[in-house]
Amino acid sequence: MAQQRYQLSHAGDVLPFWSLPQQRWAILTAWNPHGQASDPASNAEAQSRLQAALAAWPALEGVNGEGPWAEPTLIVPALNLRRALELGQDFGQAALIWGVGRRAALVWCAPDVRVERFWLAAAGA
């Protein structure tokens, strides 16, 4: 499958390949907790712990960001928002992406939980 990239947008109607129209999903990472660059070994170990925490869900591998801030992610179909937020907080993440079908939300994990609603659009659109 060709690499597909998406971005958050105030307008868009792209259904990601990993989701059905009303299916919830999350994009999570354990890399660079608290927005601070970590060494590759620490990041890889944290990501392995995240994968273990998600063993009950089929997850796809992805990448968020570009250049020095490109981070491996896990795309997790069917994960509910509460569990996604718990994992984001447990792994020290500033935010995560959670969605249903074409809709996406940037969910800030700390210090105060808040949600910014978006749509998915093809990257570069």
* Structural domain total, the chain: 1
Residue 23 belongs to a domain: yes
Q: Which of 99, 91, 100 is nearest to 71 (CA)?
A: 91
| Phi and psi angles of residue 41, each rounded to the nearest 5 degrees, phi first | -65, -40
Q: Which of 120, 23, 15 is nearest to 80 (CA)?
A: 23
Domain carrying residue 37: 6-122
Rounded to two decimals, the pTM is: 0.92
Residue 1 belongs to a domain: no
Residue 100 belongs to a domain: yes
What would the pLDDT profile of 68-112 be if each residue is shown by its tens digit?
A: 778 999 999 999 999 999 999 999 999 999 999 999 999 999 888
What would the pLDDT profile of 4-59 be if each residue is shown by its tens digit?
A: 889 999 988 788 988 888 999 999 999 999 989 999 999 999 999 999 999 999 99
Residue 112 belongs to a domain: yes
Residue 66 belongs to a domain: yes
What is the H or E stretch that residue 84 is in? helix 81-90
Q: C-alpha distances in angstroms, 92 versus 5, 6, 53, 100, 119?
A: 25, 24, 14, 24, 25
Query: Is-contact 56 76, C-beta < 8 A?
Result: no
- Residues with Cβ within 8 Å of 36's Cβ and at least 6 positions away in sequence, in order, are none
